[in-house]
Structures are given as C-alpha cells and as structure tokens.
Structure 1
Amino acid sequence: MLTIDSIVLYVENVQLSMAFYTRAFECDSKLLSPTFAVVEFAKNVKITLKQADALTPASPIRGGGTELSIPATNRVDLDKLFEKWKQQGVIFAQEREESVYGINFVALDPDGHRLRVFA
C-alpha cells in the first residue's frame, strides 16, 4: 500500500521558512541542501520546504495555496498558542472566531500558506 511521506511547500526562502516552522511549532528541522529542508513534527508528520526558484521541473506555483489544519486540545490551548504566535510576530489572516466547527484562527507562514488552528 502506498503512503504519503511528507507535504511539500514551495517557498521563496528555505532558511526563513525553516526558522518560522521550527520556532512556531517548537520542532526539529534539517537543511538538507541550500534549497531543500525538512521540518519534523510529532507522530511522523513531515513538511518539506523546497525553494520555488530551484524546482525541477520548474513550476509556476508559488506560496499561499495551501492550508494546514491543526487541532488544539481545547480552547485554552488554542488561546495560548494564538497569544504565543502573536508575540512572535506571526501574521494572521483571521483572528480567533467562532464557526460551525468551533473556535479557530488562521495564521500565515512567510509565503502565505495558511495554518488553521481549531478547537
């Protein structure tokens, strides 16, 4: 059976994106080449970051077309994460808001990829 190894995000600056994810998620990352890095989360979840101008084959797709869905354990944890990211200077496309599936917010990585946290 096939499995997914990682989610690949095309980024403008691998070093900047790697630093963002490492800081925001307090996780490990490895620069595998000047244009390629891997960010390792818990439970064998990986995001790989590829420098957009070094793709083979080339692609016209750039950042901002992806949304990662991240569950928080509860509203208290969601609020703590929101405040932590706000203090780190993370940009938000949507502040905390109630919706049909609960409280959530949407943060943006340096390339505009969306990080939706919900509880």
Structure 2
Amino acid sequence: MVHPDFTILFVDNPLTSTDFYQSLFGAEPVERTPTFALFVLNTGMKLGLWSRHTAEPSVRGECGGTEICFRHDAAADVDRIYADWSGRGLRVLQTPVEMDFGYTFVVTDPDGHRLRVYSMSAD
C-alpha cells in the first residue's frame, strides 16, 4: 500500500512562508533555501514550502487552496489557539463554531492556504 507522508505547499515567497510557519509551529525547518523549505514535525508529517516560481513542472494558477488540519483534544484548546493566531493578525475565515464533526475555526497563511484547528465531537 502507498500512503503519503509529505505535503508541499506552493508559495509566493518561501522565506516569508518559512518565517510564518516557524513561528506558528515553534520549530525550525530542517532545510531552508530561497526557493524551498522543509519542516519535519513531531507527528512525523513533513511540510515543504516550494516557490511557485521555480517548481518543476511549473505551477499554474494562484497559490492557496490547500487546507491543513490540526486536531486537538478539547474545545478549550481550539479557543486558546484561536486567541493566539487571531492575535497574531492571521486572516480569519471562520471564527470558532460547532459543526457536525466538531468544534473548529479556520485562518489563512500568507498565500491563502487554509489552516483549520478542530476538536472532534464526542459522538
């Protein structure tokens, strides 16, 4: 079976995006160049940030459109992270709300990629 272990976001400016995610994750990238950066997170997930201007094959269209999800155990965690991230000035697409799957909010990164934080419903 083949399973993914690495996500790449195409970004306008990898250095700006690297600074953004470094601050958000509280982690250093394992690789950082003007055209690419790589984070290896405690969960094992790898997140790459690749310049949309230098990627091969070339990237068509605009950046953004991807959603990265961050699961937490409790609604209080979601509220705490929302207060932190909205306080940093991240663009809020959805304030904390109860949905059919759980409690959640959504903000965006500098390129318009969506960042969803949620806790699952008890059901």
Normalised by the length of structure 1, the TM-score is: 0.91
TM-align CA RMSD = 1.4
Deviations 1:68-111 (A, max 9, x none): 12111211111111111112111111111111112100010100
Matched with 2:19 is 19
Structure 1 CA distance for aligned equivalents of residues 115 and 5 of structure 2: 20
Q: CA deviation at 1:36?
A: 0.5
Q: Which amino acid aligns with 1:25?
A: F
Q: Tell me the residue number matched to 2:74.
A: 74
More displaced stretch, 10-19 vs 22-31: 22-31
Task: Provide the aligned length of Structure 1 versus Structure 2.
Answer: 119
Which residue identity does 1:111 align to in structure 2?
Answer: D
Cα contact 1:10–1:62 (8 A) shared by 2: no
State the distance in 1 between where 2:37 and 2:2 align. Answer: 23
Give unmatched runs, 5+ long, in structure 1: none
- The aligned residue for residue 88 of structure 2 is 88
Shift >4 Å, 4+ stretches: none
8 Å CA contact retained: 1:11, 1:62: no
Whether the 8 Å contact between 1:28 and 1:41 is mirrored in structure 2 is: no
Structure 2 match to 1:59: 59
Distance 2:3 2:100 in 1: 31
Taking only the aligned residue pairs, the percentage that are identical comes to 32
Structure 2: unaligned runs, 5 residues or longer: none
Q: Residues 103 and 3 of structure 1: is their aligned pair in 2 closer, same or farther, counting only changes over 3 Å?
A: closer
